[in-house]
Amino acid sequence: MRLDALLLVAAPALLALTGACATAQASATDVASTRAYLDANYKLLQAAATHATAAEARLREMLIQVRGECPNVAFESPQNQDSKELSNEVIGVMVLNVYHLDLPAVRRFMRASARLSWTDARLTHAVRRYVGKLGSLARISIPSVCADVRSWVMSSFQTLAPATTLFDAEFFPVWVGVGELPAALGPFERPDEGATIRRIDAIKSELADREARAVVWWGKITAAIGLN
């Protein structure tokens, strides 16, 4: 057989083999990144779960603080967009007070996850966006709720404190809970990771219950301020 004919016959097989090797290499990267992400995510959730009592204490301290510093300062305030934004500020401050308990674990998670990549570009982007939001939350300064509500009251309920508007604009676009598992991870999960995923789901369920109980604290704090 002539050399050129041999090359024509062999070329498709060589291309197929090259493609298979590339696919195998990409698959190994996907599997390794997924395992690393699951491990880091589980450790972060474990840390958050251990702070349940401390988280409750942080919210209790916030209630005690507003009862001492600005009790009923917004008594008979209107129920409007401004009061909604101040209520949102209370939510954000509650979240950050608890979130700061987890900061060392969050930073370890970020170091472990920030450079992971997958052949699915959308998954890589989703993980990096999530990591970025966690980092942004850590950088937001916690405002003084009492000072901001007093500022609104002093304006005869006409003008919000700039700190309220700034805080809400910074906080809510990046507000995420710990333990996010993008659905796109599914195809890259291995059977032996099932136990880790079940533990992750169990802790996330516990944290969701804790967040539901936090609504009671939000109600007590806004009532203590006199905010409608």
| Span 85-102, pLDDT tens digits | 999 999 999 999 999 999
Residues 71, 73, 79, 84, CA torsion sign: negative
Report how far residue 89's alpha carbon sits from residue 104's, in angstroms, rounded to the nearest whole number.
24
Question: How high is the pLDDT of residue 167?
Answer: 98
Question: How high is the pLDDT of residue 106?
Answer: 97
Residues 6+ apart with CB under 8 A from 208: none
Question: How high is the pLDDT of residue 10?
Answer: 44
Two tokens at 78?
A: 């209107």
Cα–Cα nearest to 171, from 97, 113, 222, 67: 97
pLDDT band at residue 2 under the 50/70/90 scheme: very low
Two tokens at 104?
A: 């060392």
Residue 17 DSSP label: H
Residues 135, 141, 145, 148, CA torsion sign: negative
Task: Say how far residue 200 (Cα) sits from the centre of its chain.
Answer: 15
Cβ contact 148:89 at 8 Å: yes
